[in-house]
Structure 1
């Protein structure tokens, strides 16, 4: 069963969410953190798969995206930090109250693995599974990618944010990104410590607080969005967690391209998705 939900945040924003319920008593609960500016609907098939295998699953849209869109794209509440400090906090609280007896896990895609470290209540997670999650600092990419990244972070994102009030999603394959979120993302990406405050000082308290098991999935053909150095850098943020990096070789699954977004395609239901169940079970 799939139910539409609305989750209020502590600063007056209402997040659109979907709750996927199994036919039997749930084994545990799972929150899915989306990639940058990717709608929760992208993970529907994956969420249904998890629910069919006994898990209560919640997907949601970050503020400014999809069902959580705000008309004013320049709203001061639309920041990247707020995705973790307000949105994820509200989602964790809502899930914990909805199913108090369940153990809750988080499955993250890309930026979803970053915002876990910004949630003040992240210790409620029994485990965190990160698919292509990374530090976005441009220096973690190979030299051939760096000119494009530098142009984006220093020129395109600041300019488009100021002129349009948003940045077109065509630049990275997601939805349009509100100005404040885009500017903060670019600011982080220009800084070697990546997740930083307005003064450029690293934000690490929430990352270091987490002590649960964490899996980081490194996909060998995801060079554009999550190369090895970037994935390892984010893993190091979670210095007190029990972390593990697993490399997915595309050659082991028939040389099929996976890239940054392919993991959640239904064709991997009996391979990559089964591995997630093994981790959770």
Structure 2
């Protein structure tokens, strides 16, 4: 079981977070960055596993999601870039400020690996392990999947955001996504450089600043959300980090589909989670 926490952001929001630990003197700290529209509770089994193996682990919800939800879905502070620039940055400061004696690592799932490059204090991280993290530009998908991506970025998300002030969770398969976050996400997905400013210029300073060790895990049956070209593209953003890509062949692990979300399910504790421990050393 974890201990609930509140982490304040510089722009006046409070993030719901959870602290997992089984040791008085943990060997290091790990921050878990969630995927888009996925609540932190999804990672609780994985966080407990890391805690049992000696780590202090922090999960949290981005603004607008789960325990960090806000009452006004159209609040202008709700953007995807703020997930990195404000939220992840606040969590890094909170962790490194309270537990100065620990080296801090990050495990990022999907967008959780993207926003690392947006945090101004990301150089406080010792290493990063990304699971199915990718550039969301539609052109990185295989031709047969591109029409679906184009429909998502150009029609579905803008239309639903305008009508409802959010993209319903039933559409995303997770939590509802506030309009400002969804619209920026779709704007990025329409652009070949993906993470860009309002003028379409690539945002890369924070990505290029990071020089730590980074592992990118690509799962071969995760073709709907993180195909290989998309994973490789994000890796290239972190051009000064010591990066490596590992491809997981799902058929050698299970007779089920691992896909985009399977890695963090408890049934893969024995087959996949140990790789994170090996990475952390």
TM-score normalised to the size of structure 2?
0.98
- Equivalent residue, structure 2, for 1:186: 186
- Equivalent residue, structure 2, for 1:162: 162
Identify unmatched segments of 5+ residues in structure 1: none
Secondary structure of 2:270's aligned partner: coil
Query: Shift of residue 255 of structure 1?
Result: 3.3
- Equivalent residue, structure 2, for 1:127: 127
Secondary structure of 2:244's aligned partner: strand
Identify unmatched segments of 5+ residues in structure 2: none
Q: Which runs of 4+ in 1 moved over 3 A?
A: none
Counterpart-to-counterpart distance in 1, 2:174 and 2:192? 24
Counterpart-to-counterpart distance in 2, 1:34 and 1:56? 17
Query: Shift of residue 254 of structure 1?
Result: 3.3
- Equivalent residue, structure 2, for 1:38: 38
Q: How does 1:93-172 map to 2 (within 5 A)?
A: 93-172=93-172
Which region of structure 1 is more displaced relative to structure 2, 147-156 or 55-64? 147-156
Counterpart-to-counterpart distance in 1, 2:265 and 2:113? 19
Query: Shift of residue 25 of structure 1?
Result: 1.2
- Equivalent residue, structure 2, for 1:278: 278
Secondary structure of 1:82's aligned partner: helix
Which region of structure 1 is more displaced relative to structure 2, 263-272 or 202-211? 263-272
Query: Shift of residue 251 of structure 1?
Result: 2.0
Query: Shift of residue 33 of structure 1?
Result: 0.1
Query: Shift of residue 172 of structure 1?
Result: 2.8
Q: How does 1:188-227 map to 2 (within 5 A)?
A: 188-227=188-227
Query: Shift of residue 50 of structure 1?
Result: 0.2
Which region of structure 1 is more displaced relative to structure 2, 177-186 or 24-33? 24-33
Q: How does 1:45-60 map to 2 (within 5 A)?
A: 45-60=45-60
Counterpart-to-counterpart distance in 2, 1:174 and 1:243? 30
Counterpart-to-counterpart distance in 2, 1:251 and 1:150? 29
Query: Shift of residue 23 of structure 1?
Result: 2.5
| Alignment length (residue pairs) | 281
- Equivalent residue, structure 2, for 1:81: 81
Counterpart-to-counterpart distance in 1, 2:37 and 2:170? 11
Query: Shift of residue 117 of structure 1?
Result: 0.1
Counterpart-to-counterpart distance in 2, 1:165 and 1:119? 26
Q: Is the 8 A contact 1:24 1:54 kept in 2?
A: no
- Superposed CA offset, 1:20-58 (max 9, x none): 012241000000000001000000000000000000000
- Superposed CA offset, 1:226-253 (max 9, x none): 0000000000000000000000011221
Counterpart-to-counterpart distance in 1, 2:238 and 2:171? 29
Q: Do residues 3 (structure 1) and 3 (structure 2) align?
A: yes
